[in-house]
Amino acid sequence: MTVRVAINGFGRIGRNILRAIHESGRKDIDVVAVNDLGPVETNAHLLRYDSVHGRFPHEVTVDG
């Protein structure tokens, strides 16, 4: 059974949670939404090019 989760806040912790879910390879967690006050394009860029953890190894797309 897949657990659908939303991330409320996409600062350092929110981005690290998303990264950890993807890097763990778990198929039973589906991130369906991210809620943040900043522009979605900026959040996508910050996820793609993290200054501490490096580039995000998966495709990052903006929808909405």
Residue 63 lies in a domain: no
Give SS3 for 24: helix
d(C-alpha 33, C-alpha 28), whole Å: 16
Residue 38 lies in a domain: yes
Q: For residue 15, give its domain range.
A: 3-55
Residue 51 lies in a domain: yes
- Structurally, the chain folds into a number of domains equal to 1
Is the pLDDT assigned to residue 64 strictly greater than 80? no
Residue 14 lies in a domain: yes
Residue 35 structure tokens: 């809620």
Residue 62 lies in a domain: no
pLDDT recorded at residue 16: 96
Residue in the structure block whose two tokens are 């990052």: 60
Global pTM reads 0.85
Residue 18 lies in a domain: yes
Tens of pLDDT, residue by residue over 5-63, are 999 999 999 999 999 999 999 999 999 999 999 999 999 999 999 999 999 999 998 88
Residue 64 lies in a domain: no
pLDDT recorded at residue 63: 83
User: Distance between terminal CA atoms of the chain?
Assistant: 27
